[in-house]
C-alpha cells in the first residue's frame, strides 16, 4: 500500500510542500480533497460529526482516525480515554505528534485485546466495510470490540442521487451488485493508489445488516442524503 493519504497528512503536518489529494470513484470524476480539511477543528466539522462527538462517552475507539481530529477533540475537550486507529502508519505517526496519547496503526479486523464503550466510524464510516459480501465479517468484529452497554456511531450517505433518472423518476442503477459499492482511487503528487472497495449504504440496508449481526440500530440525525446511526448490542 502506497499510503498516499498518510503521505499527504505527513507532508501537511511537517510543511513538506503538501498538495491537495485527488480522489475519484467508479461513478464520479476526479475531485480535489484539500489536505487541510483533514486537520479541521470541531467548529469546521459537519453536523453529523459534531453530533457523534457530543454523543461519545467512556472508553472510545476512533476507527479510520486519519490525522486524528476527532480523537483530539474527544481527548482534549471531552477528557475521554481515546484510541485512534488507522491502517495508515504515517497518519498514526501524525496523530502521535499532534498529542494523541493512544494511536495504533492496524487493520480493524486484526485489532484486539480491548473493548470499548463507544466506537466511532465517521466520514462515511461504512466505507471500511468494502462490500455487502463481507459486511457481516466487519459487523461481527465490531460486535466483539464493543462493551455490553456500548454504542457504535457511524455515518454514511445514500448515493442514489448520483444516478441518472428517467422522465418518470425511475433511477438507472447498475444491474450487478449494490449501487453503493464503489471503486475508490486516491492520487497524490503524481502517484496513484490501486483502487480500493468503498461502501456507501442507505440506512435501510445498514439496518438490515446490523440487525442480522446482533445489533439494534437507530437513526440519530439526517442531513440531506447523509445520516448518523447508533448501533447497540441487542
Alpha carbons within 13 angstroms on the beta-carbon side of residue 161 total 6
Our count of domains for the chain comes to: 1
Radius of gyration for the chain, computed over Cα atoms and rounded to the nearest angstrom: 18
**First-last CA distance in the chain:** 37
The grid coordinates of residue 41 equal: 477543528
pLDDT, position 81: 98
pLDDT, position 8: 98
pLDDT, position 88: 97
100: CATH: 3.40.50.150
pLDDT, position 170: 63
pLDDT, position 1: 73
Q: How, if at all, do strands 191-192 and 21-25 pair?
A: unpaired
At 76 the three-state DSSP class reads: helix
Are 193 and 181 in contact by the 8 Å Cβ rule? The answer is: no
**Residue pointed to by grid coordinates 501524525:** 94
pLDDT, position 161: 81
- Domain extent, residue 43, equals 4-233
Chunked in runs of 10, what are the mean pLDDT values of the chain (234 residues)? 94 97 93 97 98 98 98 98 98 98 98 97 97 97 98 96 68 74 96 96 98 98 98 97
Amino acid at each position: 500500500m502506497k499510503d498516499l493519504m498518510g503521505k499527504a497528512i505527513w507532508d501537511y503536518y511537517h510543511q513538506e510542500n503538501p498538495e491537495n489529494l485527488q480522489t475519484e470513484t467508479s461513478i464520479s470524476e476526479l475531485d480535489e480533497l484539500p489536505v487541510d480539511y483533514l486537520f479541521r477543528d470541531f467548529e469546521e466539522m459537519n453536523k453529523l460529526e459534531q453530533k457523534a462527538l457530543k454523543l461519545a462517552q467512556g472508553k472510545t475507539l476512533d476507527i479510520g482516525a486519519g490525522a486524528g481530529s476527532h480523537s483530539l477533540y474527544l481527548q482534549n475537550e471531552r477528557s475521554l480515554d481515546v484510541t485512534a486507529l488507522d491502517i495508515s502508519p504515517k497518519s498514526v505517526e501524525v496523530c502521535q505528534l499532534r498529542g494523541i496519547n493512544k494511536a495504533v496503526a492496524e487493520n480493524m479486523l486484526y485489532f484486539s485485546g480491548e473493548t470499548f464503550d463507544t466506537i466511532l466510524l465517521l466520514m462515511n464510516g461504512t466505507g471500511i466495510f468494502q462490500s455487502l459480501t463481507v459486511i457481516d465479517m466487519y459487523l461481527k468484529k465490531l460486535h466483539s470490540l464493543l462493551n455490553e452497554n456500548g454504542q457504535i456511531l457511524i455515518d454514511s450517505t445514500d448515493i442514489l442521487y448520483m444516478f441518472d433518472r428517467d422522465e418518470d423518476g425511475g433511477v438507472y442503477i447498475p444491474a450487478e451488485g449494490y449501487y453503493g459499492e464503489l471503486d475508490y482511487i486516491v492520487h497524490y503528487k503524481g502517484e496513484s493508489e490501486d483502487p480500493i472497495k468503498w461502501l456507501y449504504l442507505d440506512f435501510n440496508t445498514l439496518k438490515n445488516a446490523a440487525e442480522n449481526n446482533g445489533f439494534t440500530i437507530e437513526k440519530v440525525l439526517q442531513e440531506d442524503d447523509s445520516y448518523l446511526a447508533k448501533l447497540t448490542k441487542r
